[in-house]
Amino acid sequence: MILELRGVAKRFGATVALDGVDLALDAGEVHALIGENGAGKSTLLNILSGLLAPDSGTIAWHDDAARIAYIHQELALCPHLSVAENIVLGAEGSRFLLRRDALEARAAHLLADFGRGEIDPRTRAGALSLADQQVVEICRALAADARVILMDEPTSSLQRANVERLFRLIRQLRERGIAIVYVSHFLEEVREIADRYTVLRDGRSVRSGDLNDVRDDELIAAMIGRAVDNAFPQRAAVAGGDVVLRVDHLASPPRLHDATFELKRGEILGIAGLIGSGRTDLVRALFGLQRVTAGTIACHPERSEGSLARTGFLAAYPARNDTRATFGYLSEDRKGEGLALPMSIADNVTLSRLGAVAHRGWIDRRRQDDAAMNIMQRLRIKAPHPRTRVAKLSGGNQQKVAVGRLLHHDPDVLLLDEPARGVDVGAKRDIYEEIVRLACAGKAILMVSSYLPELLGVCDRIAVMTRGRLSPARPAGEWTPDSIMETAIGAA
């Protein structure tokens, strides 16, 4: 055994983050730490890494020389530094001068080991895609030569090929005697890579053991305190209403080359594809965040050809009697552009539609709090009150706040980019139910996701992006995970 925790507790004012956690970690073990958002997983990792001190309990290290590396769920890179500088940050050595050629060679070696040798170590980290930034974060942990590695949702921005590379590396690290604490909301991932597990609920360790001895439904029940019959909500097949959005041969270089589709009222249209294939470029172009060089976008074509209004974090919200279609956009990057982290839940939920909570041009804080509390109850956001700063919430609850902003806006068309990223099993179900409820209420929804079960379980139709070109949309029942992947890589 390399590490043992007993009765670890931590409070933040009146909030109890941990209320008695026991955990034992062996050398050469991958230990899965699972639980709902807000269960205390990130707080526990912060304590293990030394970022926080526990209020009570014991932490016993059985290897005094053990070093710890922490891969954060929210990327912790220095965007102004190069890839190589980020990878060796904190592990540069004690010499007065750094040899940049050696630094870049070491970074290139680690990137090649991960299978991403095409990433230039001299590139500024902030210029990389989220997926490539995740790779840099992982390589930085490997450069630390740690005996214990803490991985908090390390695959949240990775495509399946990179996930498999990561798992190969984890197996190699395990063979070298390195212990890994692995946090993930994907139970299939946990079963694929982990040996043992500990379940946290409401800040307490409620179950642990060997993964081979427990079923998924038992894990879910331990996580959320109740049984979940189905991962995805059931609803009747949708025939489709009027066409709300028609897109013809849309292009937004360099990644989006040709996208044609129709989106109907009451429909959920899923967009699959590899990261970098142009999926995100499509929704950003539709929302006006990227320049369109070719093609047409028609909203409510039966009533007002070409009429378009957008709603979002930085855009004004038009009056509800406007005959144009209103758009709402959920960014895949909630930390960078989806939320104002220093502001409260109430401010974030209402910020781009303040008119709904204002009186004679002044914000009515009571109305604002009531609107935010309604969203918190609908999405089961765990927070003491609407004035809680979003930065203090867990990653999954932050994602719910971002979704809640769209619920408050009530747009006609919702553009959702990875709506359930970094969210636990129970919270995913809450978000899926809201998406289905919105569709049943007549909203038109375009949903991008890297998680194929999500697309197959929630969407009415699915189209696949391949190297910037969108396939024809087909009913979800006509697709399988294999056929989606074959289309995504251009093999179909």
Mean pLDDT of the 56-65 span: 83
Q: What is the pLDDT of residues 141-172, one digit of tens each?
A: 888 778 899 988 887 767 777 788 788 888 88
Four-way CATH pick for 3-224: 3.90.550.10, 3.30.460.10, 3.40.1170.10, 3.40.50.300: 3.40.50.300
Give the pLDDT score at 62: 79
Q: Which residue has the higher pLDDT, 62 or 11?
A: 11
Give the pLDDT score at 310: 37
Indicate the average pLDDT of the chain. Answer: 84
Q: What is the pLDDT of residues 36-53, one digit of tens each?
A: 777 888 889 999 988 899
Helices 395-409 and 365-379 cross at an angle (nearest 10°) of 120
Under CATH, to which class is 243-488 assigned? Answer: alpha beta
Q: Check if 3-224 and 243-488 are the same fold.
A: yes
Give the pLDDT score at 93: 61
Give the pLDDT score at 338: 86
Mean pLDDT of the 334-346 span: 89
Q: What is the pLDDT of residues 235-247, one digit of tens each?
A: 666 555 788 999 9
Q: What is the pLDDT of residues 169-223, one digit of tens each?
A: 888 888 888 899 999 877 888 999 999 999 998 889 999 999 999 988 888 888 8
Give the pLDDT score at 194: 94
pLDDT of 304 over the 80 cut: no
Confidence band, pLDDT 50/70/90 cuts, at residue 313: very low
Mean pLDDT of the 416-432 span: 82
Domain spans of the chain, in order of start: 3-224, 243-488
Least confident of 163-177, 191-205, 253-267, 368-382: 163-177
Give the pLDDT score at 317: 33
Least confident of 133-137, 356-360, 411-415, 480-484: 133-137
The Cα–Cα gap between 419 and 414 comes to: 11
Phi, psi of 40 (to 5 degrees): 115, 10
pTM above 0.75, yes or no: no
pLDDT of 447 over the 90 cut: yes
pLDDT of 442 over the 80 cut: yes
